[in-house]
Amino acid sequence: MAKFGNTVLINQLSPMISQRREWIKFVLVELVLLLLILIVARPQVGSKIASNKEREGIETIIALDISNSMLAEDVAPSRLEKSKLLVENLMNKFSEDKIGLIVFAGDAFVQLPITSDYVSAKMFLDNINPSLIGTQGTDIGKALQLSMNSFTPNAKVGKAIILITDGEDNEGGAEKMAKQAYRKGINVFILGVGSKDGATIPMPDGSELKTSTGELVRTRLNEEMCKQIAAAGHGVYVHVNNSSTADAVLRRELSKLQKGKINNVVYSDFDEQFQALALLVVILLIADVLLLERKRRW
C-alpha cells in the first residue's frame, strides 16, 4: 500500500477495510479458478480391472533426441517426424511388451514411465517436439543413464534401450553409460537419423537457424560417433534414412531378447473425480462470500 501513499493516512481514511481479509479472498478466488481448470480436465482413476495377467514380453525404453537439429529435413518429412513414425510402427508390433519414452537434448526427461498402455504411449509420442526441453545440445550419456534407471527391477525380462539421435553436439559420457548398460544386461540400440551431407534447420517461424554471426547452421549425422556408442555397449547401430528398413532390423534384433513374465494391468472402467473438486469449489465460494472485507467492530 505504501506505493499508493502514506500507509498511516490510508488506514485512517479506510479504517474498516481489512487488508488481510482482502488478501485471503484473493487467494480463495485463485484456488477456485485452479480447481475449475482441473474439473474441465476431467480427472479419472481406474476403478475396474479388466485384466491383470502375467504375460511373456520384454521391456523397452525409447530415448528420442528432440534437439533443434532433429528438425532438419534431409530425412522426410524431418528427422524427428521420421523417428516418431518409426517408433509408432514399432509400437504397433508390440502386444505383450512394456514400453517407456524418454526425450533428451541438453538434458533428459521421462516423457512416459514404462507401461503396457500403448494408447497412452502413442498419445505422448504424438506430442513430442523440441519445445519440451529448453536446454539445447545432445547429452546422450544422460539419456542412457536415465533410461537404465527407468526399467522395472525384474531381472528375468529382456531389456533394451532404443536411442534415436543424429549424434550432433554430443556432450560426452555416452560410451561410459553404454558400457554400464551392457554390464547390467541391458541391450543398447543406437539409431542414427539423418544424412552425411546434412541440411539446414527450419525453425517454427519459417526462418532457418543461424549462428550468432548470421551464418546458416548446417547439421549432419555423426554416424561414426553413433557407431562408437553402440560398440561400447556391445549393441547394434542402425542407420535411418528415407529408404531405411530400420524398423525391420530393429524388430529382428528385439525378437532375440529373452522374454519374461510381465504383469499387465488393464482397466475397463474409470471413475470421474471431478465431484470432489466441485464440492471443494462450492466450499471455497461460500467461504469467500462469508468472509467480509470489513473489520469487525469488536
Q: What's the pTM value of the predicted model, to 2 decimals?
A: 0.70
What pLDDT score was predicted for residue 298? 44
Domain residues for the domain of 31 are: 2-43+273-290
* In a shared domain, residues 189 and 215: yes
Is 298 part of a structural domain of the chain? no
Is 268 part of a structural domain of the chain? no
Could you tell me if 66 and 104 are in contact, meaning their C-beta atoms sit under 8 angstroms apart? yes
* In a shared domain, residues 138 and 21: no
Give the mean pLDDT of 215-235: 93
What pLDDT score was predicted for residue 222? 94
* In a shared domain, residues 151 and 199: yes
Is 295 part of a structural domain of the chain? no
CA angle, 254 as apex, 250 and 260 as ends, to 5°? Answer: 160
* In a shared domain, residues 194 and 285: no
Q: Which of 14-18, 39-43, 88-92, 139-143 is predicted least confidently?
A: 14-18
* pLDDT of 97 above 60: yes
- Of 63, 127, 82, 137, nearest in space to 106 by CA: 137
What mean pLDDT value characterizes the chain?
A: 83
Give the mean pLDDT of 230-254: 87
Going by pLDDT thresholds of 50, 70 and 90, the confidence category of residue 243 is: low
* In a shared domain, residues 151 and 245: yes
* pLDDT of 38 above 50: yes
Is 110 part of a structural domain of the chain? yes
Q: Which of 115-124, 192-201, 206-215, 285-294 is predicted least confidently?
A: 285-294
